[in-house]
Amino acid sequence: MDFYKKAIFLFLLFLFFMVVFVKMIEPVIENQISGIFAEKKISNKLKKELQKSTEQFTPEKREFYKGIIKKLYIKWKPLIDESVNEAESEIRKNN
């Protein structure tokens, strides 16, 4: 009979510690999961904001975006030209 009392006590003790462990870990897991979904919400908000900004295209926004696109084109144009030239030389080599 003493053996069964000890076994039941150990089982209850094990259950108690498992419940405490789950309660301690639950906030951590919840924060990680909510962080994942929060990033998707931010992404959706950014997408909607971009769509709204292109619908109302004022002259100020036009100049602003034009400047950004021009700077990007100036920055990336040499790299694009170099890549095109290399691709053309490879095509000529293979023919």
Q: DSSP string spanning 32-64?
A: HHHHHHHHHHHHHHHHHHHHHHHHS--HHHHHH
d(CA 66, CA 62): 6
Would you kindly state where each structural domain of the chain is located, as residue ranges?
Answer: 1-56, 57-95
> pLDDT tens digit string along 63-87?
888 888 899 999 999 999 999 999 9
What's the whole-model pTM score? 0.38
Q: Looking at this protein, which amino acid is placed at residue 57?
A: F
Look at residue 56 and tell me whether its pLDDT is greater than 90. no
> pLDDT tens digit string along 29-42?
888 777 766 666 66
